[in-house]
Amino acid sequence: MPTSLPIPEPTVAEVVRMRVACITARMQLPQVAVTETILMKRLRAAFELYAAKAPTAPTWADFLTDFYTLDWLVAVGCLERVNAAWELLFQARTGRSDCLLVDALRARACRLYPRDEEKRENAVSEFWSRLLAADTAHGSAVLERYDGKRPLAPWLIRVFQNWHLSQLRSSSHIVSLTDGDYALPLPATTAAESRWHEVFLEAGREWLQELPESERLLLGLRWRYKLSQRDAAVLLKVHEGTVSRRTDKLRDTALERIGDRLTDQGWTGDDLNGFILTEMGNLLLDEPSLSAEALRRSLQAQGIAAPEN
């Protein structure tokens, strides 16, 4: 949805920052050969996408903060038909288990169509073809809707799920809670659903940011690497009971902190804990401090080798 807020022109300093971001990305991924002129043009287009969702007057400073430059460069390279960019996208690892993107899409298709083998077979290839081709005469390609403000591979998985949920809803009236901005149009959700999702995201992110690094590391080992309590204890060289107590405390504090925020905002639903635990999976998926690379750095700082995927 286009924003009614004005699109500001970048200042000289912001233009310099934009150029530095483009140059740095090209230095890190020289195989994705896209000219600076094209990158600057695509960056302005990405800002317009960001501005369309901004609740207040958009700024370039906010846009360029926490910008996933390399992921965005890969997306731009794919749009510009650069083969190396497509190779990087094929090799991309996903958030939940660091499996290949295409395998994660296939797994999601199995959950969406558990009794339709033919649909599962076609789902991924059909979605892949829509990355560059608009699905409607007046629409835009999937990758043209990526604004660089979240990791590319998890974002694509969510777009994939949204697209198929839309098809399922239209054919069988299946209703599912919205899972944030998937970048493709969703059937209308109620204002209440949208509101509670946003309240959860704000409270959940605050809770994560306040956690000590050691607790985020434990959360990452249990969530991203799927380590058992025993394996996590061995890796961290602590007693298994310690891992169990810390894990339980993380769960309890999350339910308490986020639950209190939702209750303060007027939550009247029946299953507050169930809602929090359901939403938590996608929050953890997108959390930069729980990415595989961030966890590796945290482990390396302690002289510990990251577990094999």
pLDDT 10s digits, 80-93: 999 999 988 888 76
What's the pLDDT at 210? 92
Assess whether pLDDT exceeds 80 at residue 164. no
Assess whether pLDDT exceeds 90 at residue 75. yes
Q: Which of 283 and 232 is assigned the larger pLDDT?
A: 232
Three-class SS of 237-275: CCCHHHHHHHHHHHHHHHHHHHHHHHHHCCCCCCCHHHH
Give the span between the Cα atoms of 144 and 79, in whole angstroms: 8
Confidence of residue 246 (pLDDT cuts 50, 70, 90): very high
What's the pLDDT at 110? 74
The least confident of 45-49, 75-79, 114-118, 239-243 is: 114-118
Largest CA distance in the chain: 60
Nearest to 164 by CA among 126, 203, 134: 126
What's the pLDDT at 79? 92
Which positions ≥6 away from 251 have C-beta within 8 Å?
none
pTM for the model stands at 0.53
Q: How does the average pLDDT of the chain come out, rounded?
A: 78
Which positions ≥6 away from 155 have C-beta within 8 Å?
146, 183
Nearest to 275 by CA among 216, 207, 196, 211: 196
CA distances 96 to 36, 65, 119, 232, 306, Å, are: 33, 24, 24, 17, 16
Total residues found in the chain within this entry: 309
Assess whether pLDDT exceeds 50 at residue 263. yes
109, burial (CB in 10 Å: exposed 0-12, middle 13-18, buried 19+): buried
pLDDT 10s digits, 26-72: 888 899 988 888 988 998 899 988 888 777 777 888 888 888 888 99
Distance of CA 201 to the CA centre of its chain: 12
Assess whether pLDDT exceeds 60 at residue 214. yes
What's the pLDDT at 78? 92
Q: Where do we find the tokens 């960056």?
A: 43
Give the span between the Cα atoms of 30 and 237, in whole angstroms: 41
What's the pLDDT at 223? 76
Q: CB pairs under 8 A, 24+ apart, for 133-139?
A: 135/163, 135/184
Assess whether pLDDT exceeds 50 at residue 188. no
Confidence of residue 181 (pLDDT cuts 50, 70, 90): very low
Q: What is the mean pLDDT of residues 221-230?
A: 81
Q: Where do we find the tokens 């639903």?
A: 269
Which positions ≥6 away from 286 have C-beta within 8 Å?
95, 150, 151, 154
Q: Where do we find the tokens 């009236």?
A: 173
Give the span between the Cα atoms of 227 and 126, in whole angstroms: 34
Q: Is 180 left (phi over 0), alpha (psi -120 to 50) or beta?
A: left
